[in-house]
Structure 1
Amino acid sequence: MDINLPKGVRYILKELSTNGHEGYVVGGCIRDVLIGITPKDYDVTTSATPEEVMALFKKTVPTGLKHGTVEVHTHDGAFDVTTYRMDGEYEAHRYPKNVIFVDDLVEDLRRRDITINAIAFNPEKGIIDPFNGTEDIHRKIVRAVGNPILRFKEDALRILRAVRLSTTLNFNIEENTLKAMVETMDGLRFISEERIREELNNILLSKNPARGIRMLFDLGIMKYVLPELMTMSGFLQHNPHHDKDVLGHTLEVLSHVPADLPVRLAALFHDSGKPSTFTMDEKGIGHFYGHEKRSRDIAHEVLMRLKYDHKTIRKVETLVFFHMTSTDMKNEVKLKKFVNKLGAENLNALIDLKIADFIGKPEGSDEKLFEINSFRNRIEHIVNRGDPLTVRDLAVNGKDILALGIREGQEVGRILDVLLEKVLKNPDDNHKEQLLEYASKEINR
């Protein structure tokens, strides 16, 4: 069979062959092509040493010489070219102490994690598949290369990769591979937060994130990924508005929010504080007063530990904290104050979360969905009208207040808040002269 490769990749393979070296496209890109997915990138493996690769091509960058990787620049883009290698002994379930360059493609494929990632292709020699990865693609199976226990002991992150592949491709994990994942998952304790975060992101952004998250719980792996969420599993809510345990409801919500990372993270964490805030009244009905605050705190703790960027953390915290906001709010001043706290840029994300949260409940009512969308429309009308909503929107600033003779920064902030309160009620008052007059009266009060 022939595979339509980018011109730059074909050029690299041709140059390697012309100069007496083997070269193959390898790994996830070939897997994706065989499945029918457009690859995001292409990797080349070769019998040539890194030094030979750098001597052969005009523009190269030694991005990973220790592991045999050279980035080759072509008119069609840049591509990683890596020398055939065997991995030495692994340290701390994470990385090999050293690599050994070899001249055998099969040995290079043998060190890889999953059979569907251990397939190579060359336009002249076709598919090279010593571990039956193409058959596993047809069977929709995720199976480890060789001894699965050894594969996962070498690098425990492969356990999460297996879950991610199973989730994103909608494949099942082969039985022995599954057993080995459970047997070796303690090795995840040694994996860095950043590597865990990236695999978690890939699971969350898949077409069926609930499947991957459920798998992590069912296999017991979640205690190494997000131990703070473990109490959600099996926690019954004893509430007429919920027919599932906290985890079941969470997965339902996760299934109905768009594939936006902060929104999916917010869906995952939005009820995480329920187990620790649970109370039951005299009628046997469960309540979770303040769970949105506790859930926000859990989200903050976890996302900081996994080293997410501050912008993502702030957005997730905001969405989680406000997900219980009543949507029957109609008073414009209250709506403006709410937008001031939420941030207008977070409105649609919050509405997405609230709709999914409602869909995840048993009552199901078009009337409630209409209420949520009407809430969005009321806020959008205020925002589009251009009403001042924050201190930044005022016609005066801190310097203007200081010019009135105020010297304490805290007092400046208080006066600006007073002015905002007036402008929220009367937008037409947002003129510099008028606001300075209000400010002077406040100072002299």
Structure 2
Amino acid sequence: MVFDIQSRERKIFEVISAAARELNFPAYVVGGYVRDRLLARPSKDMDIVCVGSGIELALAVSKKLHPRPRVTTYKRFGTAMLKHEGLEVEFVGARKESYRSDSRKPTVEEGSLEDDQNRRDFTINALAVSLNDNNYGNIIDPFDGLEHLEQKRIITPLEPGKTFSDDPLRMMRAIRFSTQLGFDIEEKTLDAISKFRNRIKIISQERIATELNKILQAPEPSIGFKLLFDTGLLELILPELAAMQGVEIRNGIGHKDNFYHTLQVVDQLAHKSNNLWLRWSALLHDIAKPVTKRFDKENGWTFHGHEAVGAAMVPRIFRRLRLPMDQKMKFVQKMVQLHQRPISLTKEDITDSAVRRILYETGEDIDQLMLLCEADITSKNEKRVRRYLQNYEYLRKRLQEVEEKDHLRNWQPPISGELIMETFAIPPSREVGIIKNAIREAILDGDIPNEYDAAFAFMQNKAKELGIAMPVDE
């Protein structure tokens, strides 16, 4: 079978072919680029394997392109990369690769194209297209990858135990590809994931987190998380989430399965938002329910405070998985902390004060919080779902009304701690905090307008209550 080379790629393929011919390095485009093109999926990454030095080939290709792209080399790994017309092209010499039983780093040796295809994770990623004169454009498919693409099946090229033992991250990649592509994992391959799941412990947290992110970015992330749970991988990489599965019944009263509820929330959110960190918020929004679960004879099952406990768990989970400990983590933590607040506002007459407070606490993230809360509706009762959505729609209107009036997004009170200390000639102290907090609460409660003069007068009165006098000019 001959690969259909489109005009956009024809130039780069011809240049690579010419450079490989001059160096006498047989060259092939392999892996994900070939797979995605055959599936009519967009692809900006191209992997070139040559029987020789990938770095030398990349430098030779760069010299033939105009404008000449910069080549980034990774001598330790024997790879090089350049960018050309929206494509990111990586070059590597054909190799053998394997892991020791206790190592996170592979042992790499030079090899043939066959060796390189043997080390690939799945048959659909072992496809290669020749860029050599004698069979230019031919697809080299030693493991029936084309047939498996048609069948929508994920199968390892070699015995699955060897494939997963060599690089245990491939177990997560199988699940990730199944989630992204909507493919089934072949039975023996799936069984091997369960059997070899403990091998995942030698893989770095960064690589695991990358796969989790890609699963979360899929159209229906629940597919991947169900597979992670069923194979036993989830308990090893995200035990807090696995612990949510199951229903406990006491006195004939059960609670919903919080694991499958969470996956439904993630899917519903994924249909409305591509924001990865909001999807993480959905995944972790009920993460503390197992540790806050209590049974009350009168009220049944309760999860009091799960949002606060969950928010405290977020940094620990992010740190363990080597996820970013910056504003992204703080955003997820905020979403987990506040995800119960909007629903509580729909159960009562919404006061301006209550609306001001949630605007103040969420700032620019209020719209993201509302998306999360709407996705959190998983009732099978259609009337109840409609009622919740109507309540949220009304809350959105109230948020807009109060915001237009009080401008509280990313709001800072008009009186700062520095001004309080300067006005009363006092050092940093507990009293400064009391006055500052009282001003903020008075504005949020609507006792005084969000204006400097009113806040300054309130500050003077509060200071007087605390026995703090204005300094007398001499």
Q: TM-score, normalised by structure 2?
A: 0.85
Question: Counterparts in 2 of 1:39-438, with a 5 A limit?
Answer: 39-50=43-54, 52-53=56-57, 55-56=59-60, 57-58=62-63, 60-74=70-84, 78-87=88-97, 90=100, 92=102, 94-97=104-107, 99-102=108-111, 104-122=112-130, 124-236=136-248, 244-258=256-270, 259-282=274-297, 285-309=300-324, 310-325=326-341, 326-328=344-346, 329=348, 330-341=350-361, 343-360=362-379, 362=381, 364-388=384-408, 392=412, 394-404=413-423, 405-408=425-428, 410-426=430-446, 429-438=449-458
- What is the DSSP-based 3-state SS (H/G/I as helix, E as strand, rest coil) of the residue aligned with 1:372? helix
1:13 alignment partner AA: I
C-alpha distance in 2 between matches for 1:78 and 1:357: 39
1:223 alignment partner AA: E
Q: Deviations over 1:327-361 (max 9, x none)?
A: 325100121112222x1322122212221221345
TM-aligned CA distance change 1:212 to 1:360, over 3 Å = farther
C-alpha distance in 2 between matches for 1:432 and 1:283: 50
TM-aligned CA distance change 1:201 to 1:241, over 3 Å = farther
- What is the DSSP-based 3-state SS (H/G/I as helix, E as strand, rest coil) of the residue aligned with 1:308? coil
C-alpha distance in 1 between matches for 2:45 and 2:12: 10
Q: More displaced, 295-304 or 350-359?
A: 295-304
TM-aligned CA distance change 1:437 to 1:244, over 3 Å = closer
Q: More displaced, 433-442 or 233-242?
A: 233-242
Q: More displaced, 106-115 or 60-69?
A: 60-69
Q: More displaced, 58-67 or 135-144?
A: 58-67
Q: Deviations over 1:235-257 (max 9, x none)?
A: 34779998741212112212211
- Using the TM superposition, give the Cα deviation of residue 43 of structure 1 relative to its aligned residue in structure 2, in angstroms: 1.5
Unmatched 5+ residue regions in structure 2?
64-68, 466-474
- Using the TM superposition, give the Cα deviation of residue 416 of structure 1 relative to its aligned residue in structure 2, in angstroms: 2.4
Q: Report sequence identity in percent.
A: 29
CA RMSD of aligned residues (A): 2.7
C-alpha distance in 2 between matches for 1:389 and 1:24: 54
- Using the TM superposition, give the Cα deviation of residue 89 of structure 1 relative to its aligned residue in structure 2, in angstroms: 5.1
**1:262·1:316 contact (CA, 8 Å) conserved in 2?**
yes
Q: TM-score, normalised by structure 1?
A: 0.90
Q: Deviations over 1:49-78 (max 9, x none)?
A: 145325523355353223221123546654
Aligned residues: 441
**1:47·1:84 contact (CA, 8 Å) conserved in 2?**
yes
Unmatched 5+ residue regions in structure 1?
none
C-alpha distance in 2 between matches for 1:67 and 1:422: 62
TM-aligned CA distance change 1:110 to 1:418, over 3 Å = same
- What is the DSSP-based 3-state SS (H/G/I as helix, E as strand, rest coil) of the residue aligned with 2:71? strand
Do residues 31 (structure 1) and 47 (structure 2) align? no
Q: Deviations over 1:256-294 (max 9, x none)?
A: 113322222222222222222222333583222222223
C-alpha distance in 1 between matches for 2:360 and 2:253: 30
- Using the TM superposition, give the Cα deviation of residue 296 of structure 1 relative to its aligned residue in structure 2, in angstroms: 2.5
1:373 alignment partner AA: E
Q: More displaced, 229-238 or 147-156?
A: 229-238
TM-aligned CA distance change 1:101 to 1:387, over 3 Å = same
Q: More displaced, 195-204 or 36-45?
A: 36-45
Q: More displaced, 233-242 or 126-135?
A: 233-242
- What is the DSSP-based 3-state SS (H/G/I as helix, E as strand, rest coil) of the residue aligned with 2:129? strand
Do residues 21 (structure 1) and 31 (structure 2) align? no
2:49 alignment partner AA: T
**2:221·2:267 contact (CA, 8 Å) conserved in 1?**
yes
**1:88·1:100 contact (CA, 8 Å) conserved in 2?**
no
**2:280·2:332 contact (CA, 8 Å) conserved in 1?**
yes
